[in-house]
Amino acid sequence: MEEVIFAGSSFQKPSGMAEVTLTFSNPKGDTLIDLLNNRDRGIQKTYRSGESVYMINKTPVRLKDVRELFMDTGIGGTGYSIIEQGRIGEIVRQNLWNVVL
């Protein structure tokens, strides 16, 4: 995972970690993830040492807990996704820059 940590530039020093935050919004309350409320957050921090920290709503959890939470939702590399008509072409046309942002 070290390749996702900023290596530095001539203007900025290298970063010691990378952080990803997912914010879940479910105003209708119609999700399979009962543990996640309307505006909950999942966070992963990865350090150069190889250590990773996972949190849900600022509470430290294990990677196993995160995987179990999403197992039945279809979110993940092996799950199915329902995509509205016309969006597939848009997704295919996106370049890497749009995906990263």
The three state secondary structure string of the chain is CHHHCCCCCCCCCCCCEEEEEEEEECCCCCCCCCCCCCEEEEEEEEECCCCEEEEECCEEECHHHHHHHHCCCCCCCCCCCCCCCCHHHHHHHCCHHHHHC
CATH topology of domain 2-100: Rossmann fold (3.40.50)
pLDDT of residue 23: 75
Residue ranges of domains in the chain: 2-100
Average pLDDT value for residue range 77-84 = 65
**pTM, two decimal places:** 0.57
pLDDT the model gives residue 10: 93
User: Where does the pLDDT of residue 90 fall: very low under 50, low under 70, confident under 90, or very high at 90 and above?
Assistant: confident
pLDDT at 89: 74
pLDDT at 80: 60
Question: Mind listing the pLDDT tens digit for each residue in 64-80?
Answer: 888 777 776 666 666 66
